């Protein structure tokens, strides 16, 4: 980032593993104002920083005022891509340091990181840079537009209150439900890959290292994550649930988040997703959770949106994605 009189005293450098405490403090300060519904312990931040596929040196920027992290940017590339390479940016500025141009500088730094990672991993493909934010964060959205990004999609964060609101959804005849174990991990992974491909516009399955990273999070709840098998014993669909202790400590609410739910193509239209979701809702209620949440695309009506509405989910907040399309491929 270039230096200006407004923040010439700040230090800009790549994020390193020892920054976990500083990053968690920054993320929680941002949450207090921007309201993503996400709080971070130092351990949560360490998991983010130490993610195997995150290139700290080339893909991250931390902005520091002494020992205090006042802003950050992180670019996550796709190890595998087909048709277009989508790099996802995340970032933010501490509320006490806003309206000084830091967000504009960090966004520019993130886009530069995306270009560097793209040139290294997928130079022959077009590049798309995506960034997601709360629809109510007018300052961030204006920053994206000023950088030439356009609104490309939106999603809603949905919540279910559990309790008596949990409907009794039967499992399709002949199908069986089982919780996640190391023994059925391969079936979960297969169902995940066939239910939906990794990344918008990227026709590739989730890389094995990304799958291992995902299920390695401390927040993963194998006891609330379920696989549905058809009468022949084949995996028909899967659902993964996570719960973050930092969220519970900050809000007093035990939330079970459905991070992924999907049905293999040959099993759609048979009530597989409904059965998985209903089973997960009952299991979360019986385990003492206060609510279940999930995110759903909202740009166009889908069968999934109708499923969530029927199950009793309501909208808590809306997030929007802005995209910078860089074609022809960056050289």
Tens-digit pLDDT profile for residues 206-229? 889 889 999 999 999 999 999 999
- Asked if the structure places residue 53 within a domain, the reply is yes
pLDDT tens by residue, 296-311? 988 766 778 889 999 9
3-state secondary structure of 292: strand
39 and 129 both lie in a single domain: yes
The per-residue pLDDT for 300 is: 62
Do 130 and 321 contact (CB within 8 A), yes or no?
yes
Kindly state whether residues 178 and 67 are assigned to the same domain.
Answer: no
SS3 state of residue 259: strand
Residues 96 and 21 in one domain: yes
Give the chain's radius of gyration (CA, Å): 20
The pTM for the full model equals 0.84
Per the structure, the count of domains in the chain is 2
Instruction: Categorize the per-residue pLDDT at 168 as very low, low, confident or very high, splitting at 50, 70 and 90.
Output: confident
* 245 part of a folded domain: yes
Q: 146 and 25 in one domain?
A: yes
Whether 204 shows a pLDDT value over 80: the answer reads no
Residues of the domain holding 20: 11-153+320-326
Is residue 321 scored above 70 in pLDDT? yes
Cis peptide bond N-terminal to 328, omega within 30: yes
Is residue 119 in some structural domain?
A: yes
Rounded alpha-carbon distances, angstroms, from residue 163 to 245, 283, 290: 21, 11, 8
Any domain includes 302: no
- Is 277 a member of any domain? yes
Please indicate, yes or no, whether residues 97 and 180 belong to a single structural domain of this protein: no
139 and 175: one domain?
no
304 in any annotated domain: no
317: burial class by Cβ within 10 Å (0-12, 13-18, 19+)?
Answer: middle
Shared domain for 126 and 145, answered yes or no, is yes
Q: How far apart are CA 321 and CA 200, in angstroms?
A: 12
> Are 64 and 13 contacting, i.e. CB atoms less than 8 angstroms apart?
yes
| pLDDT number for residue 165 | 82
CATH at residue 119? 3.40.630.30
């Amino acid at each position: 980032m270039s230096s200006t009189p407004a923040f010439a005293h700040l230090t800009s450098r790549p994020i390193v593993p020892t920054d976990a405490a500083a990053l968690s403090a920054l993320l929680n300060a941002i949450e207090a104002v921007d309201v993503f519904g996400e709080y971070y312990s130092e351990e949560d931040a360490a998991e983010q920083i130490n993610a195997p596929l995150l290139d700290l040196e080339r893909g991250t920027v931390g902005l520091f005022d002494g020992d205090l992290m006042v802003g950050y940017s992180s670019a996550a590339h796709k190890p595998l891509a087909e048709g277009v390479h989508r790099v996802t940016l995340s970032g933010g500025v501490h509320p006490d340091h806003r309206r000084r141009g830091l967000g504009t500088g960090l966004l520019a730094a993130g886009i530069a990181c995306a270009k560097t990672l793209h040139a290294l991993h997928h130079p022959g493909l077009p590049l798309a840079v995506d960034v997601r934010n709360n629809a109510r964060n007018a300052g961030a959205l204006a920053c994206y537009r000023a950088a030439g990004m356009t609104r490309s999609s939106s999603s809603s964060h949905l919540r279910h209150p559990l309790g008596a609101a949990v409907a009794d959804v039967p499992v399709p005849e002949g199908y069986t439900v089982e919780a996640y174990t190391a023994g059925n991990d391969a079936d979960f992974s297969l169902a995940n890959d066939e239910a939906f491909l990794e990344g918008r516009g990227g026709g590739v399955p989730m890389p094995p290292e990304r799958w291992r990273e995902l299920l390695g999070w401390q927040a993963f709840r194998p006891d609330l994550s379920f696989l549905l098998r058809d009468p022949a014993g084949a995996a028909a669909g899967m659902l993964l649930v996570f719960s973050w202790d930092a969220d519970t400590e900050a809000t007093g609410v035990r939330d079970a988040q459905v991070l992924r739910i999907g049905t293999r193509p040959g099993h759609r239209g048979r009530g597989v997703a409904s059965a998985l979701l209903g089973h997960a809702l009952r299991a979360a209620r019986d385990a003492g959770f206060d609510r279940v949440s999930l995110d759903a695309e909202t740009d166009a009506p889908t069968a999934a949106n109708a499923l969530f509405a029927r199950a009793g989910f309501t909208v808590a907040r809306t997030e929007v994605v802005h995209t910078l399309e860089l074609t022809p491929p960056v050289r």
